[in-house]
Amino acid sequence: MLKQTLSAGKSILPGISSADPALLASTQAFVAEITAVASGSIATDWKMIGTAIVALVKSAGQSPDYSAISAPAVQKAALAVAADARSSCGLDLSGAARSAVPTPSK
C-alpha cells in the first residue's frame, strides 16, 4: 500500500507539519507495525531503529534528544536490516543504512 501511495505521487500524511501530533502517532504506529512483523533475526534491530526514528519525529523539527540512543548501535542495526532486505527481498537499502543515523551536534 505504501509503495502504491508513493508511486502515485501522493503523501501518506498530506498537509501535515512536523509539530502535528498525528505525525508522531502515525510514526509510532508504523514503527510498532514494522517491529511486530520483522523476522526474529532483525526484530531487535528494527526496535533500535524505530526508537531513533520516533526520537527524530518527536523533536518536531528541533534537535532530537539522542541521549538514550547509541548512534553506533543504530548504525549497526541499520546495516543488519539492509543486509536482510538485500538477502531476503532483493532490496538495496545500503544508501539508507549509511545515512540512517545523523551525527548529533552538541
**Measured distance CA(66)–CA(91) in Å, rounded:** 28
Q: What is the pLDDT of residues 30-86, one digit of tens each?
A: 899 888 988 889 999 999 999 999 998 888 878 877 787 888 999 999 999 999 988
The DSSP output letter for 59 is T
Range of the domain at 45: 20-98
Report the candidate in 62, 83, 80, 75 with the shortest Cα–Cα distance to residue 103.
75
Neighbours of 91 (CB within 10 A): 12
pTM of structure: 0.70
The structural domain count of the chain equals 1
Cβ neighbours, 10 Å, residue 87: 9
Residue type, 1: M
Structural domain contains residue 68: yes
Within-domain flag for 77 = yes
Residue 24, in any domain of the structure: yes
